[in-house]
Amino acid sequence: MSEPLLSIRDLVTEFDTQDGLIRAVDHVSFDVGRGEVVGVVGESGSGKSVTAMSVMGLVPPNVGRVVQGQALFDGQDLLAASPEEMRRLRGDELAIIFQDPITSLNPVLTVGAQIGEAIRTHRDLSKDDARSEAVELLTAVGVDDAERRVDQYPHEFSGGMRQRVMIAIAIANRPKLLIADEPTTALDVTVQAQVLELLSRTQQEMQSSIVLITHDLGLVAEVADRVVVMYAGRVVETGSVHEIFQEPRHPYTRGLLASRPGLGGSDRLPAIPGQAPSLLAMPTGCKFHPRCDQSDGRAPCWEEEPSLRVIGADADDRASRCHYHEELARERTAETPRPRGRWWRR
Ligand SMILES: Nc1ncnc2c1ncn2[C@@H]1O[C@H](COP(=O)(O)OP(=O)(O)O)[C@@H](O)[C@H]1O
Ligand SMILES: [Mg+2]
């Protein structure tokens, strides 16, 4: 495999809170290949967004800090880059889309002005040329009648259309890496599918890489090539989408798969029992053991935290942080994944 576009190595990010210091991201490592879509999944509070913020240089400096690690982007360590350099890279080679487009868009500027600004910050274009490009971008992301809508304000757009505008801004300079943090969580199911389709198409056209952050494994099956599962600030399993769905090798991943909503997004199955631990009062040993249906009270689970170990000899980036992941391999789930999504068609 060629050198990854992004290589996150041993990332540790902490916050000062009223109740004490918390380690939101604890020695996280994973790679994002060129042209690859990596899904980062986990329950709320598992450290997905903080990982993204760390890589983008957006950890709020008064309360939080990256204390360790590297994020090698095309060989350059983003965590060691100056704030000026990060400002230059963001919106140009790197872009991020957040869950809630209304707080990311400026309510007093037209959509066209905001897309134009994104373009003109990084390229020397006249206002007129930037506006024409904004119209093209809006058309490309599926906003009808873009020539007229380019002069409208964010509040004149629906939630789904605003997220399309955010995507237009994010891809305006054809970034090599796009991080999408819960990009469709605020949208209804049909619009979710359209926005995902747009992201997927954009990625293919631009040959960019995408990190898709979501609490919903179903979304990952639709668009991702590879999956990184996070729990309590740690990576607990990695593998291809196919491997993760066919044969989860961590009890937490297995639980996430079992609690996936059905097609259509309704009829949610029971969630994994219990709650994710407080970062202020972490269990000993494996951080998942108090909720684990595989541990059965075995001592290693509460005595010693497992490391993230590579599974198999020829496995390409397949790893699990469970002492007993081999047991999971033997008792393969009878359920096979639904025949849908990109990975299935290949
Ligand atoms: N600005 C902040 N100040 C203090 N704690 C934070 C801040 N941002 C995130 N955290 C904490 O970091 C942990 C991980 O959060 P986050 O990465 O947002 O989770 P998620 O996986 O849901 O995206 C949580 O416990 C959260 O409370
Ligand atoms: Mg988040």
State pLDDT tens for residues 73-108: 999 999 999 999 999 999 899 999 988 766 789 999
Q: Is 333 helix (H, G, I), strand (E, B) or coil?
A: coil
State pLDDT tens for residues 196-205: 888 898 899 9
Q: What share of the chain is helix, strand, coil (3-state, %, to 5)?
A: 35, 20, 40
User: CA of 98: how far to CAs of 179, 268, 327, in Å?
Assistant: 9, 24, 38
What residues flank ligand 1, with Cβ below 6 Å? Answer: 15, 17, 24, 42, 44-50, 60, 63-64, 279
| Rounded distance between C-alpha atoms, residue 56 and residue 242, angstroms | 29
Q: Does residue 46 carry a pLDDT above 70?
A: yes
Which residue's structure tokens are 């053991």? 289
Distance 50 CA to ligand 1 centre (A): 6
Distance 163 CA to ligand 2 centre (A): 17
pLDDT of res. 312: 78
Ligand 1 mutation pick, 49, 217, 252, max ligand atoms within 8 A of CB:
49
Distance 286 CA to ligand 1 centre (A): 20
- Cβ distance 311 to 324 under 8 Å? no
Ligand nearest to the CA of 47: 1
Report the phi/psi class of residue 221: left, alpha or beta, with left for phi > 0 and alpha for psi in -120 to 50.
alpha
Question: Nearest CA to 324 among 252, 224, 272?
Answer: 252
Quote the tokens at residue 47.
Answer: 């450290």
Index of the ligand 1 atom closest to the CA of residue 25? 14
Ligand nearest to the CA of 59: 1
Distance 44 CA to ligand 2 centre (A): 6
What class, spelled out in words, does domain 216-274+282-346 have in CATH?
alpha beta
Distance 47 CA to ligand 2 centre (A): 7
Which position has the higher pLDDT, 123 or 259?
Answer: 123
Question: Nearest CA to 41 among 193, 265, 213, 199?
Answer: 213
In the chain, what are the domain boundaries?
A: 216-274+282-346
Distance 327 CA to ligand 2 centre (A): 31
CA-nearest residue, atom 14 of ligand 1:
47
What does the angle CA 158 – CA 174 – CA 229 come to, to the nearest 5 degrees? 75
Residues in the chain: 346
pLDDT of res. 89: 95
CA-nearest residue, atom 16 of ligand 1:
47
pLDDT of res. 269: 59
Q: Does residue 32 carry a pLDDT above 90?
A: yes
pLDDT of res. 71: 98
Ligand nearest to the CA of 234: 1
pLDDT of res. 339: 43
Beta strands of the chain (E only): which ranges? 6-17, 20-32, 37-41, 64-73, 76-77, 94-97, 177-181, 209-214, 226-231, 234-240, 309-310, 319-320
Mean of the per-residue pLDDT values of the chain: 89
Distance 45 CA to ligand 1 centre (A): 6
Index of the ligand 1 atom closest to the CA of residue 63? 3
Index of the ligand 1 atom closest to the CA of residue 59? 1
Instruction: Calculate mean pLDDT across residues 198-213.
Output: 92
State pLDDT tens for residues 321-339: 999 999 998 655 555 554 4
State pLDDT tens for residues 161-170: 998 999 999 9
Which residue's structure tokens are 């066209």? 112
State pLDDT tens for residues 126-143: 999 999 999 999 998 999
pLDDT of res. 346: 33
